[in-house]
């Protein structure tokens, strides 16, 4: 292994000195400095001569992670030492015991938590999922491990350019699926937004570059407008004797791209490209909450407010400790603009998250707050028995999202639930037995379905009946881990009983035919009864969803597979001249072709950016849109199965089913104009149309057949141009 060059040593020394300068604010004694210096030289020796894929000395990575831990997360000496050593046990001959002997048990424990899983894995789980599981379980002991891991991921994302395309997509999938929401939940807003931006940069490099270029092109004009908007605010707050700083914060590329996707509009139609932030110095004479509302009242003397867009996270802080008052004001040009009002303490917590929250909590000697409660809930969930690592990850992810709302019990007690939660989520939040027996809810004294989505401020009472019980459909109507786990637990108990009953019924029936069950027999039975595996077949049989009345005819059927040709793909440069047939069959016998399937979750059509996912069992490649949420979930857990060198080559079918959603002003003749554009001008076949009109507004969905994404975009553009149409988007 070659040593580093003099140029390398110079860069290492420079970065190390920058780290030491950062550590000046956390080292309180000579012992602290000695520990950091010892950790650096141990890491440098352990990684001696090793280089990253970019070619730079490997030791620069732990130095960079340690610097993020100090400067951007705000952790202390032991965390910095653990950051410097985080890859030593995994990549070198040093052991956790060595770290404990050289430092102490706490640092060794953190390094162990940061070390990836190397033992044998659960056959249903990926290495990534097992790694996340081990890291997240350290929440039960030391949350600093996760904060260091997020810092590690941030530096990896900052240096992702040297990685091959398939590695980039695997790492961005992990980042979007778990690390960005985890950073959000721990209050690391700056890191969360940078992780999202970097993920978009590597997921959609062309779109990222285009938005960034347009933002740069309009920067001077935007900055001038921000200054004009701020000027009267600055004058009014100064007159009121408030010590403050006001600034304009430009929105991130990712947030703008997300809005463009969500609303199906171009960059030019995004008007709220910035938000205003006011950070004031609080005084002991007036509570911070009162000062926030005082500033709000001064702002509304200048610009008209939008009352239904006030977000009061001062009275009801978020679970990650975030506090602020958000208001929306009308600009002189008629565009709504968000203004954030925070104290200096709130600002530090918003930017630095967990570490700052804990510092202020200890200073104030506060009792348990929302952050503590959330942490206890997560620790409780982590310590519960779980299925495979992938299922575990899915449950943990649900605890990370999303925006919270406040609802009330009949007695006026407050509960925090994620936005989008239903009455059923509320029921399980009260107690598992309440959830399992729920039949309805009184929401604001009006009887509603348990599937009803709650809004902030609702008062909810759950109605129950001993005869009620969870069904599989309930899983589609809950968004909290507690509710989901309780429903799954109940269904598993019922399913196991059904499986046992189904096995008994099936064995008895096969004995009547004199048949011994075999793998070949199930290859014929499972597709005939629309089942993917034996357990599903037995469960449906035991619960009487299916019966065996027609099994004699099923057994006599010819099971010869039929290949259905739809379109072709190319995979990899070595297959440049070879077309590969896409088949909807999952078990193609005697065919020397690559097996493909189109993902039903996102239904890509020719022209969409696509990425494949190779099914570990069948070997078939399931084709998704690159930004499909299900693909991101799969990639975060089994990134080695992503197929990135895949593209549309040619397609035989004339059209593909897709669906669009429309909204606009109802007027006489709008349906006629719609049909004229679609069927006559564009020659598109409509499969189905649903229109509802109320209060002069119509909303509708249309299923139609298009040839590719380009023709779909042309259709959306023409429909959007029809008089009265307000919004059109692809579902």
Whether the CB-CB separation of 570 and 649 falls below 8 Å is answered with yes
Residue 328: strand pairing partners: 338
Question: Do 525 and 537 touch, CB atoms closer than 8 A?
Answer: yes
510: burial class by Cβ within 10 Å (0-12, 13-18, 19+)? middle
Sign of the torsion formed by the C-alpha atoms of 689, 693, 696 and 698: negative
Site of tokens 């992990």: 174
Long-range contacts from 94-103, C-beta under 8 angstroms, 24+ separation: 94/42, 94/46, 102/38, 102/42, 103/35, 103/38, 103/39
Q: Which residues are catalytic?
A: 90-91
Q: Would you list the DSSP string of 310-338?
A: -EETTTS--TT----EEEEEE-TTS-EEE
Smallest CA-to-CA distance from 310 within 447, 144, 457, 165 is with: 457
CA-CA distance, 103 to 361, in Å (whole number)? 29
Among 200, 224, 229, which residue's Cα sits nearest to residue 212?
200
Q: Please report which residue ranges of 514-604 form alpha helices under DSSP H.
A: 519-528, 534-542, 551-556
Q: What is the DSSP letter of 299?
A: H
Q: Which two tokens stand for residue 239?
A: 């007159």
Strands 596-598 and 621-625: parallel
Say if residues 15 and 58 touch (Cβ distance below 8 Å): no
**691 bridge partner residues:** 700
Q: What are phi and psi of 607, to 5 degrees?
A: 105, -25
Phi, psi of 137 (to 5 degrees): -65, -20
d(CA 158, CA 60): 13
Q: Are 653 and 630 in contact (CB under 8 A)?
A: no
User: Which residue bears the tokens 């990135």?
Assistant: 644
Sequence-distant (≥ 6) Cβ neighbours of residue 212 within 8 angstroms: 253
Contacts by 513-518 with C-beta closer than 8 Å and gap 24+? 513/551, 513/552, 513/555, 515/555
Contact (CB, 8 A) for 432 and 172 = no
C-alpha Rg value of the chain to the nearest Å: 29
CB atoms within 10 A of CB 17: 10
Instruction: List C-alpha distances in Å: 127 to 118, 256, 291.
Output: 8, 33, 50
Q: Note whether 422 and 451 are within 8 A (CB).
A: yes
């Amino acid at each position: 292994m070659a040593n580093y060059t003099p140029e390398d040593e110079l860069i290492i020394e420079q970065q190390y000195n920058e780290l030491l300068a950062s550590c000046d604010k956390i080292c309180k004694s000579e012992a602290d400095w000695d520990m950091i210096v010892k950790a650096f030289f141990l890491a440098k020796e352990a990684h001696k001569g090793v280089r990253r894929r970019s070619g730079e000395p490997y030791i620069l990575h732990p130095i960079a992670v340690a610097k993020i831990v100090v400067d951007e997360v705000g952790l202390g000496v032991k965390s910095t030492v653990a950051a410097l050593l985080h890859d030593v046990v995994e990549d070198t001959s040093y052991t956790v015991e060595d770290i404990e002997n050289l430092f102490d048990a706490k640092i060794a424990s953190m390094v162990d938590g940061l070390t990836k899983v190397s033992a044998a894995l659960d056959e249903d789980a990926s290495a990534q999922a097992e790694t996340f599981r081990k890291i997240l379980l350290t929440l039960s002991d030391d949350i600093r491990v996760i904060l260091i891991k997020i810092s590690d991921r941030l530096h990896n994302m900052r240096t992702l350019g040297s990685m091959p395309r398939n590695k980039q997509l695997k790492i961005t999938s992990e980042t979007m699926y778990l690390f960005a929401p985890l950073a959000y939940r721990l209050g690391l807003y700056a890191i969360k937004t940078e992780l999202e931006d970097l993920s978009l940069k590597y997921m959609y490099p062309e779109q990222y570059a285009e938005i960034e270029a347009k933002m740069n092109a309009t920067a001077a004009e935007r900055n001038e407008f921000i200054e004009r908007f701020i000027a009267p605010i600055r004058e009014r707050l100064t007159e009121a004797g408030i010590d403050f700083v006001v600034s304009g914060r430009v929105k991130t590329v990712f947030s703008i791209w997300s809005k463009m996707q969500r609303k199906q509009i171009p960059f030019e139609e995004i008007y709220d490209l910035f938000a205003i932030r006011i950070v004031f110095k609080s005084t002991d004479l007036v509570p911070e909450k009162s000062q926030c509302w005082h500033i709000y009242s001064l702002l509304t003397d200048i610009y008209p407010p939008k009352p239904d867009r006030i977000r009061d996270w001062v009275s009801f802080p978020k679970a990650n400790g975030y506090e602020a008052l958000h208001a929306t004001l009308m600009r002189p040009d008629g565009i709504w603009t968000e203004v954030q009002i925070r104290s200096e303490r709130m600002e530090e917590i918003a930017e630095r998250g967990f570490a700052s929250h804990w510092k202020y909590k200890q200073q104030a000697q506060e009792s348990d707050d929302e952050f503590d409660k959330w942490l206890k809930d997560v620790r409780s969930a982590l310590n519960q028995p779980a299925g495979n690592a992938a299922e575990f990850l899915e449950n943990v992810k649900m605890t990370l999202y999303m925006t919270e709302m406040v609802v009330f019990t009949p007695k006026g007690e407050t509960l925090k639930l994620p936005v989008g939660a239903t009455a059923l989520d509320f029921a399980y939040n009260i107690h598992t037995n309440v959830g399992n027996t729920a039949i309805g809810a009184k929401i604001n004294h009006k009887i509603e379905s348990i599937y009803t989505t709650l809004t902030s401020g609702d008062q909810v009472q759950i109605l129950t009946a001993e005869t009620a019980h969870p069904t599989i459909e309930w899983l589609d109507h809950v968004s909290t881990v507690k509710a989901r786990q309780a429903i799954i637990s109940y269904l598993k108990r019922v399913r196991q009983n059904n499986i046992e009953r189904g096995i008994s019924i099936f064995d008895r029936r096969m004995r009547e035919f004199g048949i011994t069950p075999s793998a070949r027999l199930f290859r014929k039975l499972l597709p005939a009864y629309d089942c993917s595996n034996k357990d599903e077949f037995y469960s449906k049989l035991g619960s009487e969803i299916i019966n065996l009345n027609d099994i004699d005819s099923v057994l006599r059927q010819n099971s010869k597979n039929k290949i259905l040709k739809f379109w072709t793909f190319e995979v990899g440069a070595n297959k440049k001249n070879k077309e590969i047939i896409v088949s909807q069959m999952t078990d193609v016998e005697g065919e020397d072709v690559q097996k493909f399937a189109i993902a039903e979750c996102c239904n890509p059509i020719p022209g969409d950016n696509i990425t494949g996912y190779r099914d570990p069992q069948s070997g078939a490649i399931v084709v998704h849109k690159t930004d499909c949420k299900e693909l991101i979930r799969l990639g975060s857990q089994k990134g080695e199965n992503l197929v990135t060198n895949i593209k549309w080559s040619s397609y035989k079918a004339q059209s593909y089913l897709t669906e669009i959603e429309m909204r606009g002003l109802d007027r006489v003749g709008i349906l006629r104009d719609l049909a004229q554009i679609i069927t006559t001008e564009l020659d598109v076949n409509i499969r189905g149309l649903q229109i509802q009109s109320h209060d002069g507004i119509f909303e509708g969905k249309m299923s139609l057949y298009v040839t590719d994404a380009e023709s779909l975009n042309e259709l959306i553009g023409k429909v959007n141009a029809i008089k009265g149409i307000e919004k059109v988007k692809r579902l």
